[in-house]
């Protein structure tokens, strides 16, 4: 039964990490259309999630977790909009470095990983319940 409990803890850690990833992706999508507020200002900068593992001594295994949330160093987009308050001398406005197609792809991947961890947890729970039923 300890192995099933360990499996559930591992899956829970995966679900937590993917949940954080989904939150960051949502933030990126929500800010995809942002622009700079001033000519020298910067718009929203895309965030990236970096996963890592942490040794859980109690379980005797490594669990996935979010190591850090960093900012994407890629260049901002430029849109020609000379009347905008944030337009530079050439009439260009900086736009967020978020590509919604990439974000949607990442979101589907995170969703599938979350669902896979959920299915593992449900299977382990069902196996534990069957074991308890047999012991009655």
In this predicted model, what pLDDT tens digit does every residue of 43-78 receive, in sequence order?
A: 999 999 999 999 988 888 899 999 999 999 999 999
pLDDT score for 101: 97
Residue 40 pLDDT exceeds 90: no
CA distances (Å), 5 to each of 32, 43, 74, 122, 129, in order? 41, 45, 42, 11, 12
Domain segments of the chain: what residues?
2-135
């Amino acid at each position: 039964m300890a192995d099933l409990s360990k499996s559930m803890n591992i899956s829970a850690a995966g679900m937590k990490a993917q949940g954080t990833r989904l939150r960051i992706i949502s933030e990126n999508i929500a800010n995809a259309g942002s622009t700079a507020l001033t000519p020298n200002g910067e718009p929203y900068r895309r965030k990236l999630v970096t996963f890592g593992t942490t040794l859980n001594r109690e379980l005797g295994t490594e669990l996935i977790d979010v190591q850090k949330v960093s900012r994407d160093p890629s260049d901002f987009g430029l849109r020609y909009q000379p009347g905008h308050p944030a337009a530079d001398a050439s009439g260009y406005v900086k736009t967020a470095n978020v590509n919604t197609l990439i974000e949607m792809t990442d979101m589907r991947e995170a969703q599938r990983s979350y669902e896979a961890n959920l299915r593992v947890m449900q299977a382990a729970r069902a196996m534990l319940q069957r074991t308890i039923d047999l012991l009655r």
